[in-house]
A and B are shown apart, each in its own frame.
Chain A
Amino acid sequence: MSRPDPAIAVTALVKEFRTARRRLRALDGVDLEVGRGEVFGLLGANGAGKTTLVKILLGLARPTSGAVRVRGCDPRRAAARARVGYLPEGHRFPGYLRADAALRLFGRLAGLPEGALDRRIPELLELVGLADRGHDRVGRYSKGMTQRLGLACALLDEPEVLFLDEPTDGVDPVGRRHIRDILLATRGEGTTIFINSHLLSEVERTCDRVAILHHGRVVRQGSVDDLTHPTQRFSVRLGGGEFPPDARLRELGAAVASRNGSYELDVPDLETLNRVVDLLRAERLLIAEVSPVRAALEDVFVAAVEAEEREPAPGPAAHAVGGAP
């Protein structure tokens, strides 16, 4: 049986920006695939090429070479962008429009009939928590409100693929959780979501799979679970009392560090962990919890970027390529 077409496919994608004085390679042979219904996170430092990749995926910029397909189509074709939502980074709605008028304008440009817009606009304003501000001019909105309106706009035509560029930028923690809930609900409807962010904790909570982009190259990709694999570190919380002295733990081959009322235990293997537990029980200490510590996505990201800085992958080009002759 053949595999279904991916929602997003990027093959050997290169994007160079040329100025009079130099060439800048923003994307350097990117290969990616995002399955239908998947929530995919693209991570990278500022200037890594994340926004350039998203713009190419939406037909806003032309690739220098390579191929991109969104739902099997070239995104530069206008029809290919039907039922594709996009929340751009730092988006700016025309300030003269009211929120409901802005949604109507972009809904009409998406080809939605008036009846559908009459139903969809109040629904979306309600969903993003702007129902009571729908008649206000967008120019008077705070950054968080603008961001929520942008999300409503991206969801207008019930997209099959949703691109979000820094979706929680400028949003307070409550608003961030609200946006996360909306995205999870959207995923539940089968929408493919492509999130571009440098807020790693957000990505970790929301995405199934991530790729790390560094200097225009994908340096790591995989599922969040695989990347944040369990370490040889365990968190131990005691019901009372103090951990035995370090020297005794070192005799067993373990090391401990106290962190926010619990202890982090470094052990070479599970055998050692069990010997430490035996020791604690022998000391009549009450063990409340022992749990493995997973590597945070942030650690994975930093490690991947540092490794790439130390030993760049072979191939053409640094980030900025050449100079004008």
Chain B
Amino acid sequence: MKTWALVVDTWREAFARYTLLGFAAVSTLFLLILTFALNLDIVNGTLAAGSLFGRAFEMRHRTPEIETVVTSALSIFAGMLYVLGVFLSVFATGSQVPNLQHRGTVDLYLSRPIARVHLLLGRFVGAVTLVGANLLFLCGGVFLVLSLKTRVWNPRFLVAAALILVVFLSYLGFMYLIGVLTSSTPLSIMLPYALYVLSLPLAAHDRIAAAMDSRLGAGAIHALYWILPKTPEIGRDLTGFVLGKLAPSALPIVTTGAFGAVCLAAALVLFSRKNF
């Protein structure tokens, strides 16, 4: 009952602050564009012609297999949604912990007979359901629209939603830690974005470290790579998987999840010990 109350509260807050509406609006716009602006003419299992916003595609006298076209398109969409989904999700949930910790508000929550860990985890679960539902809407919508238009069903695309959620969970753990430490909404949003950007060059950690003179610096780069989320690797594996390659490798997913879990655990410990 208490967890349910916190989940409902998270949804109410997201609704009232228009974050839920904003998330849904962007997703709906994306789906509407895909539904109405994209036209494909399929003849005998090949793409005969197509247009986006009324402008015809350049086919260069080729008539590619529609399955290949759809798989490639889904792979591109998976990559786009991976970036868009994580960014939107961070934005939608960044104010959660700072709002909870407002002076005068936190007293109302903490004076109830509920453990602090339960309180924070309840909000965490609320955020996960919120983002999960939105991702399901966005990724499920893209999958349905493309599949219905082309009659090509590639369920591998749905793995995209699950992987976006895993990466988001890791960032959410980090956001909770920042939120507990600083009570600042701007920092709770900006630092995960900074982390996201920082993780991009770290994918080439071997080359960066090899180019460094200092062994200490090289070690630091390797350490950062292993500690921080492996956002680009997971994105690369994800798009490859949708294209029909091997399943995403476990190591980037596990280490990214571990980063989020450690951040969340630290947030829970600090929140439990904090004076309000």
* Chain A residues within CB distance 8 Å of chain B: 17, 55, 58-62, 78-82, 84, 86, 88-97, 101, 104-106, 108-111, 113, 153, 163
Shortest Cβ distance from residue A163 to the other chain B in the assembled complex, whole angstroms = 8
Residues of A close to B108: CB separation below 8 A = 86, 88, 91-93, 106, 153
**B73 interfacial contact with A, CB 8 Å:** no
- Also in contact, A94 and B105, with CB within 8 A (given A55-B276, A108-B4): yes
Scoring B106, B108, B276 by chain A CB atoms within 10 A of each residue's CB, the highest score goes to: B108
Q: Determine if B13 and A110 form an interchain contact, defined as CB atoms under 8 angstroms apart.
A: no
Q: Determine if B17 and A61 form an interchain contact, defined as CB atoms under 8 angstroms apart.
A: no
CA distance A112 to B181 in the complex (A): 32
Q: Determine if A61 and B13 form an interchain contact, defined as CB atoms under 8 angstroms apart.
A: no
Residues of A close to B12: CB separation below 8 A = 94, 96-97, 101
CA distance A84 to B110 in the complex (A): 12
Query: Residue of A at shortest CB range from B119?
Result: A109
List B residues 1-28 near A (Cβ within 8 Å). Answer: 1-2, 4-6, 8-9, 12-13, 15-17
- Also in contact, A110 and B113, with CB within 8 A (given A96-B12, A96-B17): yes
How many A-B Cβ pairs are below 8 Å? 93
Pairs A–B under 8 Å by Cβ, sample size 27 = A55-B276, A58-B111, A59-B110, A62-B273, A62-B275, A78-B116, A79-B113, A80-B113, A90-B103, A91-B107, A92-B103, A92-B104, A92-B105, A93-B105, A94-B9, A94-B105, A96-B12, A96-B15, A106-B108, A106-B109, A106-B112, A108-B5, A109-B109, A110-B113, A111-B2, A111-B113, A153-B108
**B114 interfacial contact with A, CB 8 Å:** yes
Q: A60-B276, A82-B113, A91-B105 are in contact. List 19 more A-B contacts (CB 8 A).
A: A59-B110, A60-B107, A60-B111, A78-B114, A78-B115, A78-B116, A86-B111, A91-B107, A92-B108, A93-B108, A94-B9, A96-B13, A97-B12, A104-B5, A108-B5, A109-B114, A109-B119, A111-B113, A153-B108
Residues of A close to B15: CB separation below 8 A = 96
Query: Residue of B at shortest CB range from A95?
Result: B16
Shortest Cβ distance from residue A56 to the other chain B in the assembled complex, whole angstroms = 9
Q: Determine if B102 and A81 form an interchain contact, defined as CB atoms under 8 angstroms apart.
A: no
Residues of B close to A105: CB separation below 8 A = 5, 8-9
Residues of B close to A109: CB separation below 8 A = 2, 5-6, 109, 112-114, 119
Shortest Cβ distance from residue B248 to the other chain A in the assembled complex, whole angstroms = 38
Q: Determine if A81 and B113 form an interchain contact, defined as CB atoms under 8 angstroms apart.
A: yes
Residues of A close to B116: CB separation below 8 A = 78
Residues of B close to A84: CB separation below 8 A = 111, 113
Query: Residue of B at shortest CB range from A139?
Result: B16
Q: Determine if A111 and B1 form an interchain contact, defined as CB atoms under 8 angstroms apart.
A: yes
Residues of A close to B105: CB separation below 8 A = 91-94
CA distance A62 to B118 in the complex (A): 19
List B residues 32-80 near A (Cβ within 8 Å). Answer: none
CA distance A9 to B222 in the complex (A): 55
- Also in contact, A78 and B9, with CB within 8 A (given A108-B2, A111-B1, A111-B2): no
The 9 closest A-B pairs by CB, nearest first: A96-B16, A108-B5, A92-B104, A88-B107, A86-B111, A109-B112, A82-B113, A61-B275, A81-B113
Residues of A close to B276: CB separation below 8 A = 55, 60-61
Residues of A close to B9: CB separation below 8 A = 94, 105
CA distance A60 to B273 in the complex (A): 9
